[in-house]
């Protein structure tokens, strides 16, 4: 015990012994195993970080696309109509007061209306939905998706004939900007057709097939006239919420505040197929996380067991000199933590470099028709980084307590005799 007392004056004896006895040596069996364990930890953590970053990126970017096109919340007339044909919603003073009573949660609201129709050219025909918008419409999202032409110009005095269509619709109908395009509608009251002639002012592309194949955007006054509505009647009120506002929470409050004949739904409720698909990605990430934790954890346990077995003679000598089991366990744990920290450091470096490269250059591509995005999206905030590193460190630390318990069963006289 005198030896340990002298060592304590300079540094902890466990750290001193660990630093002297576990230096990597090619002659030791454990040296190559330690390298494998370090690589396993690095690869496991890197895969987990990249997986989480990709799923977060997918969810955020696709949600931004959906809400950019259809808004976070929609208020519509309450009815059992499941078709595209809308029931009129009167934008009353009562409804406006409800919206203005949430200035900290509602960033913007706009009045829109939709009408299904058929686009017809000389050789092609296509069913679409005309989404009528007005001067209050926010073009913040779609302005960044224009790939040809310009946004339509609207005013309150007269209906504009300008529309924007998607790249998919333009390709299918073989039209370009400034080309005339005729659209036919069916009057629901007397089942007669009514035609409108539009001018293509711009072409957009969002990457969301459900929207690109379906919607064209034009003046809301055309839709109002097709439905025989007055200037105060619309199909829906679209709300854009502030960044920190929960859409579901605000929708719940608005549902009980708006007139009883109105319904309030979030973008998730309006487009469940997209958001259900995103939820499935969470399951994939959990599977990856569990597999990586198990594989790297088993590797660490195996490595520690090999080191302990290789140092059985040393354990016997230390016990004969008076060291207790807790002291010897700490020696092996200190060495294991060095392997763990080293592996986690390299794993973080690799993952962060890859995430930054993909975020800035987007060299990993995706088929947009299948994934709605042309590049693999990656987003990893500081809180996710900390939680992931802290979580895997705690889990791997707990697994390392299993092999060190072998130290308790080693008898000094047997270890020294058969060394």
Strands 125-133 and 215-219, sheet pairing = parallel
Examine residue 253 and state whether it is found in any structural domain, yes or no. yes
Per-residue model confidence as pLDDT tens digits over 162-196: 999 999 999 999 999 999 999 999 876 666 788 89
Same domain, 124 and 23: no
Examine residue 192 and state whether it is found in any structural domain, yes or no. yes
Longest dimension (CA), the chain: 105
Cβ atoms of 264 and 258 within 8 Å: the answer is yes
Q: Give the end of a domain, one of 218, 234, 260.
A: 260
Same domain, 216 and 313: no
Same domain, 120 and 255: yes
Whether pLDDT at 286 is above 60: yes
What is the C-alpha separation between 348 and 371, in angstroms, rounded?
Answer: 27
Tokens of 124: 């092609």
Examine residue 196 and state whether it is found in any structural domain, yes or no. yes
pLDDT score recorded for residue 193: 82
What is the C-alpha separation between 43 and 41, in angstroms, rounded?
Answer: 6
Same domain, 228 and 160: yes
Tokens of 25: 């040596």
Whether pLDDT at 21 is above 70: no
Beta strands in 79-155 (DSSP E): 89-90, 106-120, 125-133, 146-149
Q: Tell me how crowded residue 360 is: count the other CB atoms within 10 A of its CB.
A: 8
The residue among 82 and 72 whose pLDDT is bigger is: 72
Report the predicted TM-score, pTM, of the whole model to 2 decimal places. 0.79
Same domain, 151 and 33: no
Whether pLDDT at 96 is above 70: yes
124: number of CA atoms within 13 Å, CB side? Answer: 13
Cβ atoms of 115 and 127 within 8 Å: the answer is no
Stretch 228-255: mean pLDDT: 91
Same domain, 41 and 103: no
Examine residue 268 and state whether it is found in any structural domain, yes or no. no
Cβ atoms of 55 and 282 within 8 Å: the answer is yes
What is the C-alpha separation between 40 and 298, in angstroms, rounded?
Answer: 10
What is the C-alpha separation between 93 and 7, in angstroms, rounded?
Answer: 82
Whether pLDDT at 258 is above 70: yes
Same domain, 248 and 336: no
What is the C-alpha separation between 392 and 43, in angstroms, rounded?
Answer: 13
**pLDDT class of 23 with cuts at 50, 70, 90:** low
Examine residue 172 and state whether it is found in any structural domain, yes or no. yes
Most confident of the ranges 207-211, 276-280, 327-331: 207-211
pLDDT score recorded for residue 189: 61
Tokens of 418: 């058969």
The residue among 19 and 306 whose pLDDT is bigger is: 306
Cα 208 versus chain centre, distance:
16
The mean pLDDT value of the chain amounts to 85
Same domain, 368 and 299: yes
Domain residue limits at 204: 79-260
Cβ atoms of 234 and 88 within 8 Å: the answer is yes
Whether pLDDT at 5 is above 60: no
What is the C-alpha separation between 49 and 370, in angstroms, rounded?
Answer: 24
What is the C-alpha separation between 106 and 102, in angstroms, rounded?
Answer: 6
High-pLDDT (> 90) share of the chain, % = 39
Least confident range of 55-69, 279-293, 303-317, 332-346: 303-317
**pLDDT class of 9 with cuts at 50, 70, 90:** very low
pLDDT score recorded for residue 264: 94
What is the C-alpha separation between 119 and 368, in angstroms, rounded?
Answer: 25
Q: Tell me how crowded residue 229 is: count the other CB atoms within 10 A of its CB.
A: 19
Most confident of the ranges 278-287, 343-352, 366-375, 392-401: 343-352
Same domain, 102 and 199: yes
Whether pLDDT at 141 is above 70: yes
Whether pLDDT at 106 is above 90: yes
Examine residue 19 and state whether it is found in any structural domain, yes or no. yes
pLDDT score recorded for residue 69: 87
Least confident range of 202-206, 346-350, 397-401: 397-401
Examine residue 153 and state whether it is found in any structural domain, yes or no. yes
Whether pLDDT at 317 is above 90: no
pLDDT score recorded for residue 403: 81
Least confident range of 44-53, 175-184, 395-404: 395-404
pLDDT score recorded for residue 80: 64
Q: Give how many domains the chain has, as a whole number.
A: 2
pLDDT score recorded for residue 98: 92
Question: How far are the Cα atoms of 29, 135, 236, 254 from residue 260, in angstroms, in the given order?
Answer: 76, 28, 15, 11
Least confident range of 110-119, 201-210, 363-372: 363-372
CB contact set of 213 (below 8 Å; sequence gap of 6+): 166, 168, 169
Tokens of 21: 């006895």
Tokens of 298: 């088993």
Stretch 39-47: mean pLDDT: 90
Whether pLDDT at 300 is above 90: no
**pLDDT class of 84 with cuts at 50, 70, 90:** low
pLDDT score recorded for residue 7: 43
Whether pLDDT at 362 is above 50: yes
Q: Give the end of a domain, one of 227, 260, 293.
A: 260
pLDDT score recorded for residue 191: 64
pLDDT score recorded for residue 418: 54
Same domain, 233 and 352: no
Closest CA to 89 of 218, 212, 305, 233: 233
Same domain, 120 and 40: no
Same domain, 317 and 369: yes
Q: Give the end of a domain, one of 213, 236, 260.
A: 260
Stretch 269-288: mean pLDDT: 84
Examine residue 392 and state whether it is found in any structural domain, yes or no. yes
């Amino acid at each position: 015990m005198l030896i340990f007392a002298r060592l304590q004056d300079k540094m902890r004896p466990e750290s001193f012994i660990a630093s002297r006895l576990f230096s990597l040596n090619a002659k030791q069996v454990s040296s190559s195993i330690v390298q494998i364990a370090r690589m396993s930890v690095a690869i496991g953590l890197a895969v987990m970080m990249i997986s989480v970053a990709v799923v977060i990126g997918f969810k955020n970017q696709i949600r931004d696309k959906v809400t950019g096109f259809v808004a976070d919340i929609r208020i519509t007339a309450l009815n059992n109509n499941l078709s595209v044909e809308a029931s009129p919603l009167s934008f009353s003073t009562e409804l406006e007061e409800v919206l203005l009573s949430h200035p900290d949660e509602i960033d913007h609201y706009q009045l829109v209306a939709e009408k299904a129709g058929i686009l017809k050219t000389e050789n092609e025909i296509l069913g679409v939905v005309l989404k009528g918008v007005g001067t209050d419409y926010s073009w913040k999202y779609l302005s960044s998706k224009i790939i040809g032409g310009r946004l339509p110009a609207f005013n309150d005095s007269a209906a504009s004939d300008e529309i924007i269509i998607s790249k998919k619709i333009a390709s299918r109908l073989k039209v370009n900007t400034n080309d005339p395009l005729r659209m036919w509608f069916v009057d629901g009251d007397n089942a007669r057709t009514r035609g409108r002639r539009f001018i293509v002012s711009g072409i957009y592309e969002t990457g969301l097939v459900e929207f690109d194949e379906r919607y064209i955007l034009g003046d809301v006054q055309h839709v109002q006239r097709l439905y025989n509505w007055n200037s105060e009647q619309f199909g829906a009120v679209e709300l854009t919420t502030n960044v920190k506002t929960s859409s579901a929470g605000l929708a719940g409050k608005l549902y009980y505040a708006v007139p009883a004949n109105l319904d309030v739904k979030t973008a998730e409720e309006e487009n469940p197929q997209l958001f259900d698909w995103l939820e499935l990605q969470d399951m994939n990430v959990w599977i990856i996380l569990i597999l990586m934790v198990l594989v790297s954890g088993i590797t660490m346990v195996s490595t520690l067991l090999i080191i302990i077995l290789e140092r059985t003679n040393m354990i016997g000598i230390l016990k004969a000199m008076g060291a207790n089991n807790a002291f010897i366990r700490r020696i092996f744990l200190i060495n294991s933590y060095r392997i763990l920290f080293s592996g986690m450091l390299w794993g973080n470096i690799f993952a962060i470099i890859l995430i930054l490269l993909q975020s800035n250059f987007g060299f990993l591509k995706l088929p947009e028709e299948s994934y709605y995005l042309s590049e693999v999206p990656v987003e990893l905030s500081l809180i996710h980084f900390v939680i992931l590193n802290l979580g895997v460190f705690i889990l791997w630390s707990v697994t390392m307590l299993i092999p060190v318990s072998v130290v308790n069963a080693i008898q000094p006289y047997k270890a020294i005799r058969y060394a």
